[in-house]
Amino acid sequence: MDTVKTKVAIIGSGPSGWTAAIYTARANLRPVLFEGLQPGGQLTITTEVENYPGFPDGVQGPELMQAFKAQALRFDTVVFSEQITEADFSSRPFRLKSDSREVLADAVIISTGASARYLGLPGEEAFYNKGISACATCDGFFFRGKEVAVLGGGDSAVEEAVFLTRFCTKVHLIHRRDELRASKIMQQRAIDNEKIEIHWNRVVEGYEGDDQGRLIGVRLKDTKSGEIEDLAVEGLFMAIGHVPNTQIFKGQLDMDEAGYLITKPDSTYTNVDGVFACGDVQDRTYRQAVTAAGSGCMAAIDSERWLEAQGD
C-alpha cells in the first residue's frame, strides 16, 4: 500500500474542500485532497445555482464545481479520486486510509459534507432505484410522462418538485406541516406551478410495489385527522434534509446529537489540535455553497497558522 506524507490532507471535494485546497495550495502547503464517493459534493446533483455571488445569470452546479476544482489544480493541489475509509487522530502525524493508500498528515481538514436523508421505513430500501430516489436531477428523466411525489417542505423539496414538472405529468409535494419551510420565492414557484399539488399535514407511512418490485404508490397519513390514503405514484423523491458524513470520526471528534462536528466558536478547530472541519459537516444552520466555501477558507487559514505555530 502506497504511503503519502503531507502537511495538510483535505477530505471531501465540495465548495469547502476545494476552497481549503485553493488557500492551502497558495500558502505553499501542497495539500492532498481526497474527492470521496461523490466528487464535487451536493452541488453536482443540483441544476441551476442562482445564489452563488458572482454569477448574475446563475450557474449550473456541476459547472461551478468544475471551476472550483480547476482553480485548486492551477495551484499545487494533489488530488486522489478515492474515499477515506479510516482516520486515526490519536497521535501525529494523523493517519488516514483509502482503499489504495495510507496518508500521514500533520494537519487534516474535514470537508466531508452531508448526504441525503431517507425515511428508513420497513421495506424502503428495496425501492431504492426502483422508484425511490433522493436526486431529481439524477433520476428525474426516468419518470418522463409519469406521476411522482416529493417529500419535504424545504428549498430542496420545492426545487426538486419544480424541476420534476419538466418531465412528469403531475408532482405531489407531501409535507408534514401546513406551512412550507422553503424561502418565499421558492414557495411562490411551487404555488404558481399548475403541475404541483401540495398535500399538507401528510406523512408517508408505507409503500406499495408491483410484482417486479417497482414502486406504484405511497400510503399517506393525515397528521390532523389520522386518516390514511393511498397515492398512486411511480416515483418518490426524498427531500427531507441531510445527515452529516461523520461515521469514520465517531469516538474521536466531538459531535452534536445529530452527528455534526463541533467546532470552536469563530473558528474551524475541532477538539483535536490539528484537525479542522468546514462546510456542511459542521454547519446545521446555513448550509449554503457560499458559506461552505467561506468556512473552507477559514479552515485553510486556521491550519496554516496552526502548522506555523508548531514550527512545521
Look at residue 189 and give its three-state secondary structure. helix
HEC secondary structure over 122-185? CCHHHHECCCEECCHHHHHHHHCCCEEEEECCCHHHHHHHHHHCCCCCEEEEECCCCCCCCCHH
Q: Could you tell me the smallest distance in angstroms from the CB atom of residue 23 to ligand NAP?
A: 24
Give the nearer residue to ligand NAP in terms of CB position, either 238 or 253.
238
Among 4, 30, 101, 154, binds ligand NAP (CB under 6 A): 154
Please say if 168 is a catalytic residue.
Answer: no
Given the residues 57, 76, 99, 135, select the one marked as catalytic: 135
Map residues 4-43 to x or -, x wherever contact with ligand NAP holds by CB under 6 A.
----------------------------------------
Among 181, 195, 199, 221, binds ligand NAP (CB under 6 A): 181
Give CA–CA dist 234/140, Å, rounded. 11
Q: What does each C-alpha distance from 109 to 66, 85, 120, 128, 277 come to in angstroms?
A: 20, 15, 31, 32, 6
Give the nearer residue to ligand NAP in terms of CB position, either 195 or 284.
284
Please say if 135 is a catalytic residue.
Answer: yes
Among 153, 235, 274, 296, binds ligand NAP (CB under 6 A): 153
Please say if 139 is a catalytic residue.
Answer: yes
- Amino acid, single-letter form, for residue 138: C
Size of the site for ligand NAP (CB under 6 A): 18
Residues ≥6 apart with Cβ < 8 Å to 136? 150, 159, 160, 163, 164, 237
DSSP state of 210: -
Give the nearer residue to ligand NAP in terms of CB position, either 51 or 169.
51
Short-list 15, 2, 10, 68, CA closest to 34: 10
Among 240, 253, 281, 293, binds ligand NAP (CB under 6 A): 240
Q: Which residues bind ligand NAP (CB under 6 A)?
A: 51, 119, 151-157, 159, 176-177, 181, 203, 239-241, 287
